[in-house]
Structure 1
Amino acid sequence: MDKYIFDESNGLWYELQGDYYIPCLIFSEEETQPIGLWGQRHKEYLKEHKQFLYTSMLIDGTLNSYLADIDRRAQERLLLLTKQIAEQENVTEQLKADNQIEWVRQIQTFGFSLKSQL
Structure 2
Amino acid sequence: MNTPVVGLAAPRLVHSCTIRNNSNGPVRVQILYKGPSAHGRGDHQEISTGDIPAGGSFRAEERVTNHGSYTTRKEIAGIKVTRYNGQKQKLYAPFQGVHSVELNWLFVIDNWQIYSVNPNATMGQF
TM-score interval, smaller chain: under 0.3
Structure with the bigger RCO (C-alpha within 8 Å, sep 6+) is: 2
TM-score (norm 1): 0.21
Give the strand-richer structure, 1 or 2. 2
TM-score (norm 2): 0.20
Give the helix-richer structure, 1 or 2. 1
